[in-house]
Amino acid sequence: MKSFWSAKKLLLTAFFLLFALSILKIVLVLTAKPKITVDYVAEYNRITRPANYDPNENAAPYYQKAFDAFIEMPEDLRNPYINWPTDFNSTEQDLLENWLASNSQAFEFFQIAANKPYYWLERYTDEDNNMLLFILFHDLKPLKHLSEALLWNAKLVASKGRPQIAFENIIDCYKAGYQKCRTPTSAIEQLAGMRLKKVAVDSTLLILNRKQVDSSDLKLFQYTLQEQLDKDAYTLDFEVEKMVLYDILQMTFVDNSRGTGRLSCTMIKYFQTMCGWEENLKLTCKLLFNCFFGLTRNDMVIRIEEKFASFDVLKTKTPWQLHKDDPAYFERSDMSYCDNCDGFVLADFFPPTYDIFNSYYKVKTDGKALLAVLAILRFKADNHRLPAALVELTDTGYLKCFPMDPYSDGPLVYKPAGDSFKLYSVGEDLVDDGGSNEVKTRQGPRLREITFGTGLRSPDIVYWPVKELKDLMHKPTPK
C-alpha cells in the first residue's frame, strides 16, 4: 500500500512538473522576441553604392535640382486619351507650350543628370519602421512626372518640325531609365527604370507615326540608340529582394542561436499589419500555429535560398525557352501562405517575379523593335519601297542584327503590306494572331493564365502600325 501511494505521488509530481514545464514553454514562446543583428538598410546602401563612387559623377544632385525647378502639368491638360500636342484644342495647345517653356530649367538639369554615369541615393526608412521592406523612394514619383514632361516636349518640338531636339529628349529619358536599372538595386527601382525606357520608345513610335522624318535624322537617332543599347548590360537582379526577406525573418522570427526558433508571437500583430490581416481570425490562428509548430528559422532560410536559386533561370532563358523547357515554372514557383498550416509565412513578400520577368523582356525587345522600325523607314525613304524581309535590312547594313522575339523561337514578325507594314511580337500567350492587338477569348499555350478580365488572353505586341491612346477609347468589353 505504501509503494502504491509512493508511485501515485511520483506520478503526480511528474505530471505537475510536466505541466509546469509546458506552461513555462508556452510563456517562453509567447514572450520570446526577435533579435536584430543586421542593419539591412545600411547593407542596402553599401551594396548599391557604385564602385569607385565619386560624388561629382553622381546624377542625384542634378535630378534634385530638376525636381526643385519642375512645375507640374496643369490639370486642364491631364486627358488620359490624348498623347499628341495638336490633338488638344488651341487654348490647350497654348497652355501646353507655356507649361513646357516654364520647365526649361528643369529640362536642362535633367539632361545634365541623364548624362552622368550613375544615379545613386542613400536610402532610409521613416521613423516608425526601420525595415528594408519599407525603404523610401521619394525620387521615383517626381522622376516619372519630369520624364513625362520631357517626352511631351519631344512630341511638341517634333510636331513643329524639329525631330533632332525631340530625339535628344528621348535619348535623355532612355538614359535615365538605364541609370535606374543599374544593379544591384531594388525591384521597384528596376521597374521604374524599365518604365522610363518603355515610355521613351513609345513616344518615339508615336512621333514616327505622326511625322515624316528625313532619312538622315532617322539614321543619326538609330545610331545613337544602338550605341545606348549596346552598352546597356542590365539583367534581372533580386539580391535586394533576398535581403528584404532576411530582414523580415530577423524581425519576426525568434533567434535562439540554433536556428530552431519559430515565428515570434510578439510580432503577430506587426505581421498582420504588414499583410493587411487585422480582422482575419483564421489567419491569426494559423500565425499562432506557426509560433508553436510551424517552420523554424532554419527551414525559412532553406526556403528563401531555394526560391532565389530558382530565379537564376530567369536570367538565362527567354519566355519561349522557359515555356518550352518547363511550362509550369511560374505556377509551381508560386508559394502561398494559405496553402497549409505550416505554410511559408514570408511568401507574400517575394518580389512579383512574373511581372518583372515579362517587363524585362518586353522592354528589352522594345528597343530592338524601335531600331528595326527606324531601319525600315530609312530603307523605304532611300529606296522608295519597303524591304521584302528583315534579312534585306541586315544584308544592306540598315540594321545590325535581327530583332529577336523572346516569345517565339525566331525574330519579330515583319509583314510588308502595300505602302505600310506590320512589326510585332507574338506576345505572352506565345500565339501568333497575325499582328492583332485586340484582346481575344480564344485559348492557346501560355506561360501561365494571362487575363485582362474573365476568359481573356493577351494579344500580340504590335510595334507598327502604332496604336494611339485616342483609338482605345470606349472599347467594348469582350463577352
Residues 110, 169: Cα–Cα separation, whole Å: 10
Q: What is the pLDDT of residue 11?
A: 64
Residue 417 belongs to some domain of the structure: no
Please check the confidence at residue 122 and state whether its pLDDT lies above 50. Answer: yes
Residue 58 one-letter amino acid: N
Please write the tens of the pLDDT for every residue from 55-99: 999 999 999 999 999 999 999 999 988 999 999 999 999 999 999
Structural domain including 75 reads 30-211
Residue 179 belongs to some domain of the structure: yes
326 and 182, same structural domain?
no
Percent with pLDDT over 70 in the chain: 79
Quick one: average pLDDT of 280-306? 81
Please write the tens of the pLDDT for every residue from 305-353: 988 888 877 778 899 998 888 877 666 554 443 343 345 567 777 777 7
139 and 197, same structural domain?
yes
Quick one: average pLDDT of 9-14? 63
343 and 260, same structural domain?
yes
Residues 195, 177: Cα–Cα separation, whole Å: 7
315 and 262, same structural domain?
yes
Please check the confidence at residue 19 and state whether its pLDDT lies above 60. Answer: no
Quick one: average pLDDT of 258-282? 70
Last residue of a domain, one of 350, 376, 392: 350
Please check the confidence at residue 455 and state whether its pLDDT lies above 50. Answer: no
Residues ≥6 apart with Cβ < 8 Å to 377: 208, 213, 215, 218
133 and 249, same structural domain?
no
35 and 166, same structural domain?
yes
Among the residue ranges 89-98, 191-200, 237-246, 430-439, the one predicted with the least confidence is 430-439
Residue 246 belongs to some domain of the structure: yes
pLDDT range class, residue 451, cuts 50, 70, 90: very low
Cell numbers placing 35:
533579435
Query: 419 or 348: which carries more pLDDT confidence?
Result: 419
159 and 70, same structural domain?
yes
Please check the confidence at residue 388 and state whether its pLDDT lies above 50. Answer: yes
Quick one: average pLDDT of 137-166? 97
Residues 180, 195: Cα–Cα separation, whole Å: 10
Residue 310 belongs to some domain of the structure: yes
**Total number of domains in the chain:** 2
168 and 40, same structural domain?
yes
Q: What is the pLDDT of residue 333?
A: 53
Please check the confidence at residue 53 and state whether its pLDDT lies above 90. Answer: yes
198 and 158, same structural domain?
yes
Residue 328 belongs to some domain of the structure: yes
Among the residue ranges 122-126, 263-267, 388-392, the one predicted with the least confidence is 263-267
Please write the tens of the pLDDT for every residue from 20-34: 555 545 544 445 567
pTM: 0.86
Residue 149 belongs to some domain of the structure: yes
Residue 118 belongs to some domain of the structure: yes
Number of neighbouring beta carbons within 10 Å of residue 261: 20
Quick one: average pLDDT of 130-146? 92
Contact of 200 with 151, CB cutoff 8 Å: yes
253 and 303, same structural domain?
yes
172 and 108, same structural domain?
yes
Among the residue ranges 127-131, 185-189, 455-459, the one predicted with the least confidence is 455-459
Largest CA-CA distance found in the chain, in angstroms, rounded: 116
156 and 89, same structural domain?
yes
Contact of 433 with 440, CB cutoff 8 Å: yes
Contact of 70 with 143, CB cutoff 8 Å: no
